[in-house]
Amino acid sequence: MATSNSPYTEPNSDGAHDKDFKTDEHSKDQSLEHYRSDAKDHDLRTNQGVRIADNHNSLRAGERGPTIMEDFILREKINHFDHERIPERIVHARGAAAHGYFEAYDNAAQYSKAALFSEGGKKTPVFTRFSTVQGARGSNDTVRDVRGFAVKFYTEEGNWDLVGNDMPVFFMQDATKFPDFVHAVKPEPHNEIPQGQSAHDTFWDFVSLFPESAHMVLWVMSDRAFPRHFRNMEGFGVHSFRLIDKQGTSRFVKFHWKPLAGTCSLIWDEAQKLWGRDPDFNRRGMWEDIENGNFLEYELGIQVIEEADEHSFDFDILDATKLIPEEQVPVIPIGKMVLNRNPDNYFAETEQVAYSVGHVVPGIDFSNDPLLQGRLFSYLDTQMLRLSGPNFHEIPINRPVCPFHNNQRDAPHRQTINKGQASYEPNSIDDGWPKQTPADEEHGGYESYYERVEGHKIRARSDSFSDHYSQARLFWNSQTDVEKEHIIAAYTFELSKVKRPYIRERQIKEILPNIDVELARRVGENHGVEAPREPTAPEGELGKSSQEASEALSLMARLPGNIKYRKIAILVADGVDGEQVETLKSKLSEQGAQGMVIAPSMAPVRSMSGGSVVPDGMLNGLPSVTMDAVIVAGGEGSAQALAKSGLGLYYVQEAYKHLKAIAAIGQGETLLDAAGVPAGEDGIFLGDAIEAVFEPFAKALGEHRVWSRDSKANEMPA
């Protein structure tokens, strides 16, 4: 920074001067602290002082061409971003992972020559990591956030990493804006608040000024932002990739992970309460399920787009803010993943695993998606810093299962002791080894797809990327009425945390009407802001869609449909019908669910027959937010004791508020009466015997929640 007496007074583009060349009282007062800097009135410049003319587009070969390596502005920006945190990940710091395997289906080989797809039934080891984006390592599992869904395949040809999210689109189209987005969503720099949340000024300031984020923000405001369990979470590769078959034919693909257990989420209020009651809720659920033999299962599917059809959609398939509706291009299952083993050591495996979109094998290649192109640089760069150098591939969790030899030597933490004198290629000293591998079917050397690329070096975006709202409208129109109400509530809550009124107004007046005027009206009404009655964006940004709605975009399209893997609280106290408790646990187990006996304390409960029932947890230790449904067991003494307990009353009130199925057997109805839970409501099942309530109770639980109660739930005192 120039000092206050500097003669240098370079004018900026407006004819004025950058603030750092001015003399003012503040600079005089801070004359000994030149490192303090206020960006107000400054031009945007590189770290070397070069003014930046375009901070929204990376340099590429033609408007739809690949990003060019000479883009020093992109490289400096992302390089600095990747090195901002030591040592945890800048994004996806909070994660949990598991080992397993991928099994290919018979049809996979027709799309790719990759060895892991070569024959039906072939199994490949995997290590899969799920993570939040915004929070640090110590943040909560159940915050409103995107979830990372990263899979490392240890194939015989090398490691392939499919690094995606639980949402199929992203906030921006070009990687050069990724640091800006993460800076905006992370805790604010002046006070490091808030942790693990998007409900603050800098996030909403950025997205309200950045229309291409509107589609992704809508996903984050939906219930997809807090999955009930990792096993109920979809995964997406986000970008368009290429698959290359044995004949050398290239096809564009979108990758999908479909959970075989169905999709479902937490309720927002429930997710918030879990922050304090069980901040490790998702990771704990996966760990315990795997330990108990209840493995997580997903199908890998692909949407296939032939080269000739690349431009046949009303959006650009290289635009990461867009998805391809499944009605237009169906998802073809090509394999199944099973996660069946927990890590032995969190740090050695889950923390040190290094994923990269650049880790591919023959038969898998990239598109010119400008967000993907930037990620190809960023992941390697950030792993180099985070894991202390270029030898992170030698850490056991990152090592390929096939041999690897090259002429790379030395650097920190080198594990391999290289024999031989030659560390270069070609050489004759070591008989020419290691040698290049021909890129043919017999030898399998990697060869990038032979794509013709031509165009001017330019910082610009294709006109096909100008549509920012058509798919946000598609997503909105695809939601059920309940899901729409939850989205309205989410925007209302998030914007209530924004301190600057003009940011709230900008989101309500300039972004939301372009998605849906009723959405804008409702959110505006909740903030005392009158929203426009028609879209406000230019026609090009509004875009057009040939499809009004897509059933696949609603979480309710793939509800579990059964009670497998579900945890049901069985409430008991002294005087409970012990035989009934055992029968309930047995019937739940027969359908793959787990009955958890919950009592006032961990002391054995005396049954009405004189025996004892051993609790699995306490009312305040395993609260209703950690359970999927509640059954109040019979026994007059038990029901009376629970009805006199504040914790007992709160337990069923909270379960009701969170739309969970509730059953009371015999005298157990006493607790519901005392708690004010209305007996005639949907999802409330009463009966003198287990047989009278179990079947309808299980059916309601298979639908995950009793959605018909959604509008009434907040009337409960809980």
The 3-state secondary structure of 532-585, one letter per residue: CCCCCCCHHHHCCCCCCCCHHHCHHHHCCCCCCCCEEEEECCCCECHHHHHHHH
Q: Measured between alpha carbons, how far is 456 from 62 in angstroms, rounded to an integer?
A: 5
Catalytic residue among 57, 140, 159, 165: 165
Q: Measured between alpha carbons, how far is 286 from 292 in angstroms, rounded to an integer?
A: 10
Q: How many CB atoms lie within 10 A of CB 8?
A: 10
Instruction: For residue 256, indicate whether it is catalytic.
Output: no
The 3-state secondary structure of 245-262, one letter per residue: CCCCCEEEEEEEEEECCC
Q: How many CB atoms lie within 10 A of CB 625?
A: 23
Encoded tokens for 475: 């997503």
State the residue for tokens 């307990």: 645
Task: Give Cα 501 distance to the centre of its chain.
Answer: 29
Q: Measured between alpha carbons, how far is 277 from 650 in angstroms, rounded to an integer?
A: 14
Q: Measured between alpha carbons, how far is 650 from 658 in angstroms, rounded to an integer?
A: 12
Shortest CA distance to 114 belongs to which of 352, 302, 259?
302
Cα distances (Å, whole numbers) of residue 41 to 19, 276, 333, 684: 6, 43, 54, 62
State the residue for tokens 């893997």: 565
How many residues appear in the chain?
A: 718
- Is the CB of residue 112 less than 8 Å from the CB of residue 245? yes
Instruction: For residue 232, indicate whether it is catalytic.
Output: no
H/E segment holding residue 299? strand 296-306
Q: Where are the alpha helices (DSSP H) in 114-267?
A: 178-185, 201-208, 214-220
Q: Where are the alpha helices (DSSP H) in 141-250?
A: 178-185, 201-208, 214-220
Q: Measured between alpha carbons, how far is 130 from 622 in angstroms, rounded to an integer?
A: 24
Q: Measured between alpha carbons, how far is 207 from 297 in angstroms, rounded to an integer?
A: 35
Q: Measured between alpha carbons, how far is 233 from 225 in angstroms, rounded to an integer?
A: 10
- Specify which residues 680 forms β-bridges with: none
Catalytic residue among 92, 215, 229, 256: 92
Q: Give catalytic residues, as residue numbers.
A: 92, 165
